[in-house]
Amino acid sequence: MPYVESAVRGPQIVAAARAVLMRDGVAKTSLRAVASEAGIPLGTLQHVFPSKQQLLQAVIEQVVEDISEVLRSSADTESGLAHAIAQGLRNFWSTLVEGQRGLQVLQYELVTHALRTPGLEDLARMQYRRYAEVVRQWCTEAADRSHERSAVPYDRLARVLVATVDGLILQQVSDPDAARSEQDLDAAIDMLVALAAPAPR
């Protein structure tokens, strides 16, 4: 096998690990299974990620970055805060929830794993802070561009928005019903816009 630098091999291994984790779950995932999925020798994988914990940390960081990037690109901030909330949530849902049950189950499993594993607790905290910060940024930007203000601080609005979507996702992956979820998402958007109560400055 030709030599490939760790900087290149790392993302390949993380992608293989995500596939195995979505298929088998955290408990049943082994370095050997990931190496097989990646088509590389176990020793090559262990050179880049000597332990399962290090590999899981890399997967968590990549999942958080991918979801954060979708959140960043979801909202149109040119048409006011209410529009940004509604469009941002609908775009996020259609991109990362509909048809993405495996990814969402994996995300929650990784959060639980991080919370239960000494030394990884900060990863769960980082995950939700990152999501809330991205949402806070586009809520603030949307309001500023339209010369609006929110009735509640933007960091609180962002945390409530993330928590609301989290709950809807858990219900959808536990008891899938696309029509119900669409109606519930509309209701959540109405509640969040009412919480923000955008008004001219």
pLDDT digits (tens, 9 = 90+) for 160-191: 999 999 999 999 999 999 999 999 999 999 99
* Chain centroid offset of residue 102 CA: 13
Instruction: Report residue 9's pLDDT band, with 50, 70 and 90 as the boundaries.
Output: confident
Contact of 143 with 77, CB cutoff 8 Å: no
State residue 6's pLDDT score: 53
The pTM of this model reads 0.87
d(CA 71, CA 112): 22
pLDDT of residue 5: 52
Q: Which amino acid is at 178?
A: A
- Mean of pLDDT over the chain: 91
The SS3 assignment for 200 reads: strand
DSSP 3-state assignment of 41? coil
- The answer to whether the CB of 183 falls within 8 A of the CB of 148 is no
- The pLDDT assigned to 2 comes to 44
Model confidence at 123, pLDDT cuts 50, 70, 90, reads confident
